[in-house]
Amino acid sequence: MNKRKLEKRERNKKDKEWRQKVLYKWDHTCALCPETKRINCHHIIPREIKMFRWDEKNAIALCPKHHKFGLFSAHKNPLWFFGIAKNMIDFEYLTNKLLNFRWDENVK
């Protein structure tokens, strides 16, 4: 098996483990409503920044409406989402980690 396939397999495995941990942390329930079906894990800071991709503190569990599809969702209205979510996440931890961010080492 070539190197790219092995890397992709490993990345998918880590993604799955990360998702399971995030869903467990949020009790398989949307952080913004009582929905428990089809829960998504949303990265606060984009997963393309390597140092945040599998960080459980960089995630929140959301139903599809609050993740991507509702007028007030994390992807369609990020400013609204940040105002709501900042008290639910470890904002200080993410801020401090961002202060140590090095673009050349941490972006795909």
Confidence band of 50 (pLDDT split at 50, 70, 90): confident
Q: Please classify residue 25 by burial: count the beta carbons closer than 10 Å to its beta carbon, then call 0-12 exposed, 13-18 middle and 19+ buried.
A: middle
Q: Using 50, 70 and 90 to split pLDDT, how confident is the model at 105? A: low
- Is the pLDDT assigned to residue 108 strictly greater than 80? no
What's the pLDDT score for residue 104? 60
Which pair of tokens denotes residue 32? 């913004």
What is the pLDDT, as a whole number, of residue 106? 56
Residue 65 has pLDDT above 80, yes or no: yes
Residues in the chain: 108
Identify the pLDDT of residue 22. 98
